[in-house]
């Protein structure tokens, strides 16, 4: 028997887990897998909200058939057209030939580009409603969170927000489906990694979407995203985090990322970290950019206020993994960080000088002077590293607020 879960008496979770895919979008590691969430309302009229990746369509359709038996499926609401959520649309309409596809004008433009013309379109506009009987669907267009056609559907009887990729994250749902059934500390790390690498660039559009929901004066009792846990106990928690992240708010802490061939740049990173700790900074993350995937680096840089980047010179330029990181950060539109720079040079420079160019472009507040050691760091270089760390700690402590930094204290 396939597992389906009741969210309410008439709203069912019919999502699937993917533990096979190694890279999400062929870019982001799925060390803990990912879920593709879909939902079904079984009422006078029946409706499914988003589908799943094409590799999971058979078990997905089997779940729907198990609930509906021989009843028809009336509507498929398409909140997002990315193929991990639209991959079973054609198969579902083949199974249910009278199925009506519900989406906005941009939805169907993208749908036909992917899958060719289908049939039975119901085109909605912002603010439109659709009745299933007792359950009333309200549609809110939220473009560029993070594709142009994205929208959210709010069911007013239960206060359920079907939020597509917004409020979702990496990680399979291993038994627990709801926020009160899972280890939220683990999921928040994966939700932040998802947000910072995929959605974060569109922070301004996230803010517009959140404002639209607020202005609609709706009561959100359940947040049902297309990845990650369903939020029924603390829906405001995940909404608050999205609000915070999309405004580039931070927690106190420092991320030190370095690229080093022979360990000399690494020595400078360790000296910087020790001074930060002596000054009372507890959240310190040191990463070798060659060993940690970019997505984890960006996630912590999104989380913490202090960023210190170090690079040796490599063929008169940045060390390659550091170059990849700064290119990603330049494209992220992340603002309001404190930035320190250090590194080494030997027969040529290029590491520190290119990090300085990055600093000019990204316009974060630079802390101390950039430190560049020749071949290996000497006492004077270490002294400058300590001065940089000292200034970074003072800036962070000056911004310190009483109480916890986290919005939802039960998570951290």
Question: 105-120, pLDDT tens digit by residue?
Answer: 999 999 999 999 999 9
Q: Are 18 and 35 in contact (CB under 8 A)?
A: yes
Closest of 162, 121, 157 to residue 139, by C-alpha: 162
At residue 408, the pLDDT reads 67
Q: Are 346 and 313 in contact (CB under 8 A)?
A: yes
* Rounded Cα–Cα distance for residues 373 and 209 (Å): 47
71: tokens are 């009843």
Enter the pTM of the model.
0.92
- Region 338-354 average pLDDT: 94
> Could you tell me what percent of the chain has a pLDDT over 90?
93
- Region 326-341 average pLDDT: 94
**Residue 140, beta-bridge partner list:** 152
At residue 349, the pLDDT reads 87
At residue 401, the pLDDT reads 78
At residue 412, the pLDDT reads 38
Domain ranges of the chain: 5-246, 253-396
CATH number for the domain whose boundaries are 253-396: 3.40.50.360
At residue 59, the pLDDT reads 95
Q: Are 118 and 90 in contact (CB under 8 A)?
A: yes
At residue 1, the pLDDT reads 57
The reply to whether 253-396 shares the fold of 5-246 is: no
- What's domain 5-246's superfamily in CATH? Ribonuclease Z/Hydroxyacylglutathione hydrolase-like (3.60.15.10)
Does 207 have pLDDT greater than 90?
yes
- Region 292-299 average pLDDT: 97
- Region 31-59 average pLDDT: 97
Q: Tell which phi-psi region holds residue 125, choosing left (phi > 0), alpha (psi between -120 and 50) or beta.
A: beta
* Rounded Cα–Cα distance for residues 68 and 90 (Å): 19
């Amino acid at each position: 028997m396939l597992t389906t879960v009741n969210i309410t008496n008439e709203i069912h979770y019919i999502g699937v887990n993917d533990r096979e895919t190694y890279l999400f979008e062929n870019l982001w590691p799925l060390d803990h897998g990912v879920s593709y969430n879909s939902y079904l309302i079984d009422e006078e009229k029946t409706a499914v909200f988003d589908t799943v990746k094409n590799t999971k369509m058979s078990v997905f359709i089997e779940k729907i058939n198990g609930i509906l038996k021989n009843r028809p499926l009336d509507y498929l609401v398409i909140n997002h057209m990315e193929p991990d959520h639209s991959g079973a649309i054609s198969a579902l309409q083949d199974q249910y030939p009278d199925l009506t596809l519900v989406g906005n004008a941009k939805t169907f433009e993208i749908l036909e580009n992917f899958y060719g013309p289908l049939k039975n379109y119901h085109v909605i506009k912002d603010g439109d409603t659709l009745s299933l009987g007792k359950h009333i669907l309200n549609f809110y267009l939220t473009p560029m969170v993070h594709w142009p056609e994205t929208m959210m559907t709010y069911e007013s009887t239960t206060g359920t927000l079907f939020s597509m990729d917004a409020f979702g994250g990496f990680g399979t749902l291993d038994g627990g489906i709801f926020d009160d059934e899972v280890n939220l500390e683990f999921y928040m790390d994966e939700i932040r990694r998802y947000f910072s690498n995929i959605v974060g660039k569109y922070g301004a559009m996230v803010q517009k979407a959140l404002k639209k929901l607020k202005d609609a004066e709706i009561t959100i009792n359940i947040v049902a995203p297309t990845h990650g846990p369903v939020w029924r106990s603390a829906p405001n928690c995940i909404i608050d985090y999205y609000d915070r992240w999309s405004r580039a708010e931070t927690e106190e802490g420092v991320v030190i990322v370095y690229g080093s061939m022979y360990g000399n740049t690494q020595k400078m990173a360790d000296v910087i970290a020790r001074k930060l700790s002596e000054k009372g900074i507890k959240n310190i993350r040191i990463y070798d950019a060659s060993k940690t995937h970019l997505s984890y680096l960006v996630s912590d840089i999104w989380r913490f206020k202090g960023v210190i980047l170090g690079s040796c010179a490599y063929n008169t330029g940045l060390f390659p993994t550091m170059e990849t990181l700064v290119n990603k950060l330049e494209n992220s539109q992340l603002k309001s960080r404190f930035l320190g720079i250090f590194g080494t040079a030997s027969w040529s420079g290029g590491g520190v000088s290119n990090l300085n160019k990055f600093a000019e472009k990204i316009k974060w507040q630079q802390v101390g002077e950039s430190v560049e050691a020749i071949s290996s760091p000497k006492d004077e270089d270490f002294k400058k590293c300590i001065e940089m760390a000292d200034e970074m700690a003072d800036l962070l402590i000056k911004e310190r607020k009483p109480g916890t930094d986290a919005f939802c204290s039960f998570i951290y």
